[in-house]
Amino acid sequence: PGGCGLSPPFPAAGVSQVTVRDALNQALDEELERDERVFLLGEEVAQYDGAYKISRGLWKKYGDKRVIDTPISEMGFAGIAVGAAMAGLRPVCEFMTFNFSMQAIDQVINSAAKTCYMSAGSIGVPIVFRGPNGASAGVAAQHSQCFAAWYGHCPGLKVVSPWSAEDAKGLLKAAIRDDNPVVMLENELLYGVPFEMSEQAQSKDFVVPIGKAKIERQGTHVTLVAHSRPVGHCVEAAAVLAKEGVECEVINLRTIRPMDIETVESSVAKTNHLVTVEGGWPQFGVGAEICARIMEGPAFNYLDAPAVRVTGADVPMPYAKILEDNCIPQVKDIIFAVKKTLNI
């Protein structure tokens, strides 16, 4: 039901506002409870309730064997987690930021991603590597990189990148239940953001299927494709452009690998224009992959203009706020790209 016009509309029955942080916490709680093979390990995840409070209350509820504080040794605890997964447990390995997963990339790629294939399917590695990815605010180059393209490059991994609270909860539950290694790229700046969540999304059975994009807004003039925080920027840009008579279709990728290119193709066949948006660097990026797939596939014949990429600047992230703002795609950059591709 809507409001009377003087106040904001009431949320639909059963819908409530849930932050991304609480959605992730709910998912971990429900999966720890559902399957005793699931455990969480990482820096400060136990007594401290997690560096970002994602694991708040879980150590008190499940104890030392299920929620494990580790030393600052990514290669060590990621290796322990991978070994535990090979032996039949289902670890959730938290990196304080994915920049620090570089310390453990040998474990993620050479040990986790390749083992099922190299053992002809006889050794599974059901593990989730999760934590904040991409730029936060004022943390400079060594804490601001997006690794979607890096991990999306590697066969053997599944890579998910949530935007909303529903994405975060549903994808984390799907990742924990998956029998393959899954890299879950969250965004620190989204943790405190509330999103509407339906009653269904808050149930213990709710999962978001890995490999399926979601159309966040229907449109007819241009397709905007993004993942993680830039999805919100695309929704904002679409609202501004709608006032000028331009209707954008906004696609939330949700999964980087396997990529749901069919949803993008269907949209491009309808709108005839494509703009990709990401926080990562341009070269060999997620947008580059989408553009290549569209060019190689049936949707290419529907394009009325070249596809346009909106990306982070091709530099290590500066510390100064004004420079940082100029390195990260903003709503105005998306609007500019849409007008460029539509030639208006």
Q: Which residue has the tokens 């229907």?
A: 218
What six digits make up the tokens of 206?
A: 């709710």
**β partners of residue 49:** none
Give SS3 for 56. Answer: coil
Alpha helices in 186-250 (DSSP H): 230-242
Q: Which residue has the tokens 């903003």?
A: 330
Q: Which of 30, 31, 43, 74 is catalytic?
A: 74
What six digits make up the tokens of 340?
A: 């460029």
Q: Which of 30, 31, 143, 265 is catalytic?
A: 143
143 included as an active-site residue: yes
CB half-sphere exposure, 274, CA atoms < 13 A? 29
DSSP summary character for residue 112: I
221 included as an active-site residue: no
Helix axes 20-34, 165-177, angle to 10 degrees: 20
- Burial, 329: exposed, middle or buried (Cβ in 10 Å; 0-12, 13-18, 19+)? buried
DSSP summary character for residue 9: P
Which positions are annotated as active-site residues?
Answer: 74, 143
